[in-house]
Each structure stands twice: as structure tokens, then as C-alpha cells.
Amino acid sequence: MNSNKSSTTKGDSGHGPGAFEASNPVDIYRSHISELLAPIAQKPAKDIYDRLAWTQTFDKGDLGLAVPSLRVPPKEATAKAAEWSANFPSSDLVEKPV
């Protein structure tokens, strides 16, 4: 067995079942986004990761996050989404959310 070879199975990424970063490139982006957003949203990265989902159409981007799914009251969701987007750090891997 080659000890230098990266092998990701369920739970190895720290994001729980369904995170297959070695075989699913989108999971790399989901992990990266959730790690960047966690301190801004003051939510665990795993919770964000679990809720980042494919959009229905690509004109809406590749991944979407329903802010109320993070237990943000609906009345505050729009303001929180705008705040989180404005404070999202620059990244070489992903563009700033819109």
C-alpha cells in the first residue's frame, strides 16, 4: 500500500457521509466554500457543506445555499445572505458569491 496516496472515503474529509473529494471534484468546491463561509456565518462548516447543493439550472451558478436551511429566520435570510456575500473572502478556487 502506498502511504502517500490520498484515499477519501465516507467521513474522511471531516464533512461526513457523502463527501468524496478524491472522486467527486464538486466536493472539493463544497468543502472549500463551507470552510470559507463558516466563520462569516458563525455556523459549523459541516452544516454548510451538507446544505450546499447543485442548482436547478446553470444560469444560477453551480452550487446554491438556502440560507434559511441554516436556521436563519426567514425575515433575516435576505439580509444575512447579502452580508455573507459581501464578507466572503477572495479565493483562487471560487469566485465571490452573487
pLDDT in tens, the chain (98 residues): 333 334 333 444 555 556 666 667 888 899 999 999 999 999 999 999 999 999 999 888 889 999 999 999 989 999 999 999 999 999 999 988 88
The structure's pTM equals 0.76
> What is the CA angle 37-66-63, rounded to 5?
70
- Model confidence over 17-44: pLDDT tens digits? 566 666 678 888 999 999 999 999 999 9
pLDDT of residue 24: 78
Of the candidates 96, 59, 62, which has an alpha carbon nearest to the alpha carbon of residue 81? 96
